[in-house]
Structure 1
Amino acid sequence: MLNRRGFVSGALGAAVGLALFQGNADAQDAPKYPLRFLAKTEYPGDKYACILVSEDLSPGQRVARHMHSGVESSYIATGSITLSIQGEPDLVVKAGDGYQIPPLTPHSVQNGPEKSTIVATFIVEKDKPLVQSVPE
């Protein structure tokens, strides 16, 4: 099992490649909200990467409808959000809760009345943008 020191060391080592990854994202397609890239690990001999990000949302902030090329697995560290996933009823997610979104599934987020922090891990194809806008 990976301990905290091993994880932090791996995260710091992976951070070196983040600038290259960010250059692959299509800025024109990406919704306008700040993601802090924390770590990226590429699968050897594979076409996938695991990307760890954090995002802070202001009270009442809305994240426009978008999708990702791979699986999103997220955890709400602080605050609460309302998650709207295409084809499913809205879901209120509070601090300490997690959720997952399948690849290429349109979704949006409405933040609650206080600042929220989302920590997300994505398993995505290396040559695809992390975030793609989807019309409302």
Structure 2
Amino acid sequence: MLPVAAQQNLPVATAQTQNIKRIPLQRFEVPGTAYETVIGIAEIGPNVSIGRHTHPGPESGYVIEGGFELLVEGEPPRMLKAGESYKISPHTIHDAKTGADGAKVIATYVVEKGQPLAAAVK
């Protein structure tokens, strides 16, 4: 779900990296702040687990095709399908697992400039 510039920070299991295609769309500064917005599309193959991770700022997304199970720590699992959106608070541990059809998602992150976009969590 991340643009190319941020791929190094994505906590994806090595064996599944080839199952996620990331398409960067835009990265821009939030005027008058120390933050930037990062927008990208992720095409996630069938039956893929992204891996538990956090972001230093909020994440929001919209499912374009397919669907996935969103697993946010402290919340019940939530199934999302095409046409639905989600948001995740900063520093919240979460994961996502696609089903048999995979998923295509557009995601937006707001992060402090110079900070990693994501951090893996065991």
Q: TM-score per shorter chain, which class?
A: 0.7 to 0.9
Higher strand share: 2
Structure 2 CA distance, aligned partners of 1:36 and 1:102? 23
After TM superposition, the score normalised by the length of structure 1 is 0.76
DSSP 3-state at the match of 2:56: coil
Q: Is the 8 A contact 2:57 2:112 kept in 1?
A: yes
Distance apart, 1:131 and its partner CA: 1.2
Cα deviation 1:80-131 (Å, max 9, x = unaligned): 1000001000000010000000001010000011031010011111121111
Offset, 1:133:
0.3
1:1-136 aligned within 5 A: 22=5, 25=6, 27=8, 30-32=10-12, 33=17, 34-135=21-122
Q: Which amino acid aligns with 1:83?
A: L
* Paired residues, number: 113
Structure 1 unaligned segments of length 5 or more: list them.
Answer: 1-17
Runs of 4+ in structure 1 over 6 Å off: none
Higher share of residues assigned helix: 1
- RMSD over aligned CA atoms reads 1.8
Q: Percent identity?
A: 33
Please give the alpha-carbon distance, in whole angstroms, between the structure 2 residues aligned to 1:45 and 1:36. Answer: 27
Q: CA deviation at 1:38?
A: 0.7
